[in-house]
């Protein structure tokens, strides 16, 4: 069993996420390493998926690059709530149906005609938004209220999970749906489910570097990783961890500052962030303003192998301004920390094309 210091464990995690001084060469290199980037429409600063990619690629990344990869090159796919490398879609689709709840599966089976009408409309008319597709189920979807009248959207999401339809692009914020065979490559290899799970879990651990056997469940990903990789203990932290062997010998490229989306894989597992980084975080956008400690969409601040604070900022594109409401210091910033964070905030404003206002 490996014994790691907290610093060694943190560096494994940061390095695996391309957040040390190494800068990847392309969007596809980032996607391949991260395996999944969560989609979120919040634009308090920029959309989460864009922040994730900018934090790795810097000014070399433009949101137009992502749209091109999704809609023209087809090297990236949008699947449910994640962006995935298209090369991984075979292993994703091989086991994706396991995410369909039995009650939802029964609802789909009870609406075979509804399903067929949606597929027929897509077949005849090509890519379309939900609004132009049939919404006439034999059995309406029973909900707790938040998704009433969303029968078509619910059916499309299940068909997407199962690989019958796929997102072919976006019309503004609205997804364009099409038959999967028109979006995924014809030679997409879908391995047997057991083989697909093994590949998926190994790639996920490689992306994380170090994780619990049961990391915090994230959207469209299973919770358990199981006993894969190398078993390890981290000094001062209870329990055991799994470490991917490929990240152990990787060289630390040096420190840098990074501003992270709250949905970034680096910090999404709040328990891991607390265990390894002593970093507490709660996304406060759903809280009343008076109850927020850090801000509506506060960005975790990474410097080197330490998560040291949060940035509360707001982008006003109409006024052309990025307003910094507060920089919360979880631990007092050293002068070099403060300089690195200030430089990264200025780089964020430049990337957004906004005037920086404090």
Does the pLDDT at position 198 exceed 90? yes
Beta bridge partners of 165: 179
pTM above threshold 0.85: yes
Of the candidates 83, 90, 89, the one whose C-alpha atom is nearest the C-alpha of residue 170 is 83
The 10s digit of each residue's pLDDT in 301-318 is 999 999 999 999 999 999
Q: What mean pLDDT comes out for the span 102-123?
A: 96
Average pLDDT, the chain: 94
Of the candidates 308, 314, 301, the one whose C-alpha atom is nearest the C-alpha of residue 356 is 314
CA distance 141 to 152: 9
Q: Which two tokens stand for residue 358?
A: 């404090």
Confidence of residue 145 (pLDDT cuts 50, 70, 90): low
Alpha carbons within 13 A on the beta-carbon side of 339:
4
The 10s digit of each residue's pLDDT in 251-305 is 999 999 999 999 999 999 999 999 999 999 999 999 999 999 999 999 999 999 9
Beta bridge partners of 240: 233
Q: Which two tokens stand for residue 100?
A: 């369909």
Report pLDDT for 319.
97
Domains and CATH numbers, the chain: 94-182 (1.10.10.10), 257-356 (no CATH)
The 10s digit of each residue's pLDDT in 74-99 is 999 999 899 999 999 999 999 988 88
């Amino acid at each position: 069993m490996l014994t790691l210091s907290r610093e060694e464990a943190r560096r494994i995690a940061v390095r695996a996420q391309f957040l040390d001084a190494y800068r990847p060469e392309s969007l596809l290199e980032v996607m391949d390493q991260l395996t999944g980037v969560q989609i979120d429409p919040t634009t308090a600063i920029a959309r989460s998926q864009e922040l994730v990619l900018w934090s790795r690629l810097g000014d070399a990344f433009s949101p137009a690059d992502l749209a091109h990869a999704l809609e023209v090159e087809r090297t990236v796919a949008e699947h449910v709530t994640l962006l995935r490398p298209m090369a991984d879609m075979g292993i994703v689709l091989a086991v994706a149906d396991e995410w369909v709840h039995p009650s939802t599966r029964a609802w789909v089976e009870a609406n075979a005609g509804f399903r067929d009408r949606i597929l027929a409309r897509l077949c005849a008319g090509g890519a379309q938004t939900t609004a132009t597709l049939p919404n006439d189920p034999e059995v309406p979807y029973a909900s707790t209220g938040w998704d009433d009248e969303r029968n078509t959207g619910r059916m499309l999401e299940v068909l997407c999970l199962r690989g019958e339809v796929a997102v072919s692009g976006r019309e503004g914020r609205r997804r364009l749906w099409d038959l999967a065979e028109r979006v995924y490559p014809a030679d997409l290899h879908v391995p047997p489910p057991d083989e697909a799970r093994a590949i998926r879990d190994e790639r996920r651990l490689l992306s994380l570097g170090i994780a619990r056997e049961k990391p915090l469940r994230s959207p469209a990903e299973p919770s358990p990783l199981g006993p894969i990789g190398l078993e390890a203990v981290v000094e001062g932290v209870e329990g055991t961890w799994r470490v991917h062997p490929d990240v152990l010998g990787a060289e630390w490229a040096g420190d840098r500052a990074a501003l992270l989306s709250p949905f970034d894989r680096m910090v999404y597992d709040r328990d891991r962030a607390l265990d390894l980084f002593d970093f507490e975080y709660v996304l406060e956008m759903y809280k009343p303003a008076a109850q927020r400690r850090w801000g509506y969409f506060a960005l975790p601040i990474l410097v080197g192998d330490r998560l040291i604070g949060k940035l509360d900022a707001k982008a006003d594109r109409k006024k052309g301004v990025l307003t910094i409401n507060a920089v919360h210091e979880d631990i007092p910033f050293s002068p070099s920390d403060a300089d690195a964070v200030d430089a990264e905030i200025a780089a964020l404003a430049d990337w957004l094309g906004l005037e920086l206002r404090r």
